[in-house]
A = this chain, B = another copy of it.
Amino acid sequence: MRVSREQAAANRDRIIDAAGALFRAKGFGGIGVADIMKAADLTHGGFYGHFASKDDLAAQASKRAMARAAANWQDVVAGAPGEPFAALLKHYLSPRHRDDPANGCVFAALSADTARSGKVVRDAFAEGIAELIGILAEAIPGRTKPARRRKAVAAMAALVGALMLARAAGGTPLSDEILDAARRELLASMGH
């Protein structure tokens, strides 16, 4: 049952979005092509008309999620002109974000899988991480530019690590403690 070109493009879009959420929720290996297609209201058959392989889809879904994250961070920064860094902390280290990995940070969800992937995927991730670091560097106070850059890199690592550990300890008191401690210490480290 052929559909229009626009319909097909919309379908591909839905597949990429569904994959983006499911990969983040369950990992690259934790979800199958058939289930992704089902989540996009399609059957598994059409998959290889849209993508060369599951890895191809993973790459596209990751890139889209990274671009969305950058846009999202830009919005948060733009929405809090006085305290952009504090606003980012509040969003990123919230229980809400911790409890919704499917719609959350790609890096916190898929860095481990990425570390085990090929160079192409790792390069793409490095680019995405660098983009968020750039946004952070703009949102951070600091005397010299290299100092701001260094602080931004370290802050990025702290954000991702705190979210990941909070998720790994999910359901224990430590989970909330990690989010709070990371937020407070990061704020303090920026001359609070």
A190 to B175: give the CA distance in the assembly, Å.
23
Query: Looking at chain A, what size class is its interface with the partner chain?
Result: 35 or more
**Copies of this chain per assembly:** 2
* Interface membership of chain A positions 91-113, coded 1 if the CB is closer than 8 angstroms to chain B and 0 otherwise: 00000000001000001111111
Residue among A30, A109, A185, A189 with most chain B CB within 10 A: A185
Q: Across the interface, do A175 and B27 meet the contact criterion of CB distance under 8 Å?
A: no
Q: Which of A164-192 contact B (CB under 8 A)?
A: 164-165, 167-172, 174-175, 177-178, 181-182, 184-186, 189
Least CB distance from A183 to B in Å reads: 9
- A39 interface residue, CB < 8 Å from B? no
- A29 interface residue, CB < 8 Å from B? yes
Residues of chain B within 8 A (CB-CB) of A156 are: 161, 165, 178
Please list 11 pairs of residues, one from A and one from B, whose beta carbons are closer than 8 Å in the complex, sorted by A's number.
A25-B116, A27-B29, A29-B29, A109-B112, A112-B167, A115-B170, A119-B171, A122-B169, A126-B175, A129-B169, A130-B174
Taking Cβ atoms with an 8 Å cutoff, the residues of A that contact B are 25-27, 29-30, 101, 107-116, 119, 122-123, 125-126, 129-130, 149-151, 153-162, 164-165, 167-172, 174-175, 177-178, 181-182, 184-186, 189
